[in-house]
Amino acid sequence: MNTEDKVIRLPELLQLRCEQALDELMAGLVDVNALVIATSDGFDVASRAREGMEVSKLAAMACSISALGAMAGFESGIGQYQDVIIEADEGCIVILEIPHPAMPMILNVVAGKKEILGQVVYLAKRTVSKLLAPLTE
């Protein structure tokens, strides 16, 4: 089975909340290349991406990087990791765990160099908090 063929089934309200959360996060950023919410095993749940960005690859990479961050925190004795930040010449990547009880997920933000890293982290963490709030009909 091709990874693009795998369909992730979330509760409808959670799927809608993921889509809305990405829209809100996108509105708060001025230089974003991609926003991806993925399952903890690397499959795309919801995304907003600039043309040419391969969302399925971003989801898989975020999953792998998140797992490395978790192991680095554990093995080094500094405790549970909260996020992984990669700074590069043309921007940054912020990866945060979304420990949702219905479906653990990962938020991946790929931002350009016009973004302020602290603002990206703040808005991403706020997005995660909103996704962890209890679902209501």
* Euclidean distance between CA atoms 23 and 3, whole angstroms: 25
Name which of 93, 91, 92, 23 is nearest 64 in CA terms: 93
- Confidence at 81, pLDDT banded by 50, 70, 90: confident
pLDDT for the residue numbered 61: 95
Distances (CA, A) of 36 to 32, 74, 76, 132: 11, 25, 28, 16
Position 2 pLDDT exceeds 90: no
E-strand stretches of the chain = 32-39, 44-49, 83-88, 91-98, 105-112
Residues 28 and 126: beta-carbon distance below 8 Å = no
The two counts, helices (H) then strands (E), for the chain are 3, 5
The predicted model scores a pTM of 0.88
Neighbours of 4 (CB within 10 A): 10
- Confidence at 136, pLDDT banded by 50, 70, 90: low
What phi, psi does 119 have (nearest 5°)? Answer: -65, -40
Q: What is the pLDDT of residues 34-71, one digit of tens each?
A: 999 999 899 999 999 999 999 999 999 999 999 999 89
For each of the domains in the chain, give its residue range(s) and CATH number, in order of start. 6-132 (3.30.450.30)
Q: Which helix (H) or strand (E) covers residue 71, if one does?
A: helix 55-76
